[in-house]
């Protein structure tokens, strides 16, 4: 039955064209934004997951900076500890030399005192941003935020790397070294070995902590990249597919417009019945 009041063909053509235009708008949005899921209405579950992962990326970016700061602090302390070890070895040469006969103990004492002052200076200068791991003057160590761990239930906990001060200021008693005489120097050899071992142990501990922080920083960087890649696979648009679909929809839009035009002309055909 034909009617001039109800044009079923035009309604079908119009609904088809609306659907095509809607899909065309979605594809154009994907191309312009680069995202297949840019809003919660696009896919609420995927959008929610991506936002949680993006918050983790922001957190790991901050952690990376924290690790860099911690690594720098430990690196400065480690360099200071190694320098102190070198100075103690140099001092040991003076102590051993002072045990000999017919040596100038006065000059050796002056040399040793200069080395003691240099060691004290190195300990005091081995600080980064106010944190000095070679003494405990207001600083027993540092705690470096190393990770944020999210369990299956969504609970987040923070992990830290704690680096204790080696406290050379207290553990290296330089007053035990005396080269004013051969007998005093001979007695100081044992104390010298204890000081060197303390410095070596401290430098090794700082080196191990620095390596751990460095490795964690490298891991966090790789983890951040992996999460970003995961987010991309969830929400990013496939540009090749979007391009192909855009062209197909543009053709469909032209055909839909043509179909609607033909359907709108159908009532005009009824006029021929009354001629």
- pLDDT tens figures, 151-173: 888 888 999 999 999 989 888 99
Lookup result for tokens 């992962």 = 53
Q: What is the mean pLDDT of residues 252-269?
A: 85
pTM value is 0.77
Q: Percentage of residues in the chain with pLDDT exceeding 90? A: 59
Element (H, E) at 199: helix 182-235
For residue 163, the SS3 value is: strand
Distance, C-alpha 31 to centroid of its chain:
30
pLDDT at 92: 94
Q: What is the mean pLDDT of residues 134-140?
A: 75
pLDDT at 151: 83
> Is residue 107 scored above 60 in pLDDT?
yes
pLDDT at 130: 85
66-70 long-range Cβ contacts below 8 angstroms, 24+ apart: 66/144, 66/145, 66/146, 67/144, 67/145, 67/146, 67/213, 67/216, 67/217, 67/220, 68/217, 69/129, 69/144, 70/142, 70/144, 70/161, 70/163, 70/213
Contacts (Cβ under 8 Å, ≥6 apart) of 73: 128, 129, 131, 133, 142, 163
**To the nearest whole number, what is the mean pLDDT of the chain?**
89
Q: Sorting pLDDT into bands at 50, 70 and 90, what band is 1?
A: low
pLDDT in tens, 49-80: 999 999 999 999 999 999 999 999 999 999 99
């Amino acid at each position: 039955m034909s009617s001039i009041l109800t044009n079923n063909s035009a309604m079908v053509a119009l609904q088809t064209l609306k659907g095509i235009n809607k899909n065309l708008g979605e594809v154009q949005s994907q191309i312009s934004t680069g995202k297949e899921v840019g809003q919660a209405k696009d896919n609420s579950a995927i959008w929610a997951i991506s936002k949680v992962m993006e918050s983790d990326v922001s957190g790991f970016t901050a952690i990376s900076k924290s690790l860099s700061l911690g690594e720098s602090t430990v690196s400065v302390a480690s360099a200071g500890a190694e320098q102190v070890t070198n100075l103690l070895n140099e001092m040991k040469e003076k102590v051993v030399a002072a045990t000999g006969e017919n040596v100038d103990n006065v000059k050796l004492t002056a040399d040793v005192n200069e080395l003691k002052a240099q060691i004290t200076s190195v300990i005091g200068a081995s600080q980064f941003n106010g944190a000095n791991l070679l003494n405990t003057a207001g600083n027993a160590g540092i705690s470096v935020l190393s990770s944020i761990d999210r369990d299956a239930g969504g609970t987040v906990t923070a992990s830290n790397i704690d680096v204790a001060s080696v406290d050379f200021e207290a553990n290296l008693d330089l007053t035990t070294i005396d080269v004013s005489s051969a007998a005093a120097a001979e007695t100081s050899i044992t104390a010298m070995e204890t000081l060197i071992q303390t410095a070596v142990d401290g430098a090794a501990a700082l080196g191990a902590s620095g390596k751990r922080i460095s490795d964690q920083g490298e891991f966090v960087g790789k983890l951040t990249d992996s999460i970003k890649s995961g987010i991309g696979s969830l929400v990013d648009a496939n540009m090749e597919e979007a391009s192909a679909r855009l062209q197909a929809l543009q053709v469909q839009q032209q055909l839909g417009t043509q179909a609607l035009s033909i359907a709108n002309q159908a009532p005009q055909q009824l006029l021929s019945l009354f001629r």
